[in-house]
Homo-oligomer: A and B are copies of this chain.
Amino acid sequence: MQNGSKPIPTRVLDPQLVESRRLQIVKASVDLFVAKGFHKTTTREIAKASGLGIGTLYEYIQSKEDVLYLVCAYIHSEVEKRLREVTSHEGTGRDALILSIKRFIACVDELQDYMLLIYQETKSLPADTMKLVLQKEEEITMLFEGLLERGREDGSLNITPQSVKLFAHNIVVLGQMWTFRRWALHRHYTLEQYTERQTSLLLQEISRV
């Protein structure tokens, strides 16, 4: 899984400055996009919220869509960072899986506005860039695939090889559901209840009888 990221051209020479300015831009844009959506956010707003002039903004990007891509990439990297801390947990695949699911849902909750953003705005990216973002989404899914496979091999999980991939998707989606159905779920369940019930439902399916 090679690092599928896309270098965005800049007119600024110092790479460290580019990185720090782009972080400024991302942090400011995320909140704007969350509040108003990508299309209704103007480049002028992005510039102002980033503490830059509109001209300077365009020293660091080539188009408005570039900002969206930077934002998506940033969010994904945050998710992946948190997950990787925990997927390498030693012990049975089953133990590592339980830990990872809980951590993932916690992460979805913590970053809920951002997760929602990716869900809703990925489609606004240019085709080639969108591919990269979906690829990242798949990589995250494959983290769970790896855990399931590990559990299957060490005998701690009861799952057929051809269901591994599907089940990994189920885990990710049922985790993300906490965000994109929050208009209903948050009325009826707390985060703890949700985590507890989804985890036990999921595990029930792949436990030895």
Chain A residues close to B by CB (< 8 Å): 37, 39, 119-120, 123-124, 134, 137-138, 141, 163, 165-167, 169-170, 173-174, 177, 181, 183-185, 188-189, 194, 197-198, 201, 204-205, 209
Contacts A141-B184, A184-B141, A188-B165 hold; do A201 and B170 have CB atoms under 8 A apart?
yes
| Residue pair B169, A184 in contact (C-beta under 8 Å) | yes
| Residue pair A183, B123 in contact (C-beta under 8 Å) | no
CB distance from A13 to the nearest CB of B (A): 35
- The main secondary structure of chain A at its interface with chain B is helix
Q: Which residues from chain B contact A209 at a C-beta distance below 8 Å? A: 209
Q: Which residues from chain B contact A189 at a C-beta distance below 8 Å? A: 166
Q: Count chain B CB atoms within 10 A of each CB in A141, A184, A204 and give the residue with the most.
A: A184
* A166 interface neighbour in B39, B163, B197, Cβ under 8 Å: B197
Contacts A123-B37, A163-B197, A197-B163 hold; do A174 and B170 have CB atoms under 8 A apart?
yes
Q: Which residues from chain B contact A177 at a C-beta distance below 8 Å? A: 169-170, 173
Q: Which residues from chain B contact A184 at a C-beta distance below 8 Å? A: 134, 137-138, 141, 169
Known contacts A141-B184, A166-B189, A169-B177; can you find 16 more A-B pairs with CB under 8 A? Answer: A120-B120, A120-B123, A134-B183, A137-B184, A163-B201, A166-B197, A167-B201, A169-B184, A169-B185, A170-B198, A173-B173, A173-B181, A201-B205, A204-B204, A205-B205, A209-B209
- Cα A28 to Cα B189 in complex, Å, equals 40
- Cα A184 to Cα B144 in complex, Å, equals 15
* A181 interface neighbour in B169, B181, B185, Cβ under 8 Å: B169
CB distance from A41 to the nearest CB of B (A): 11
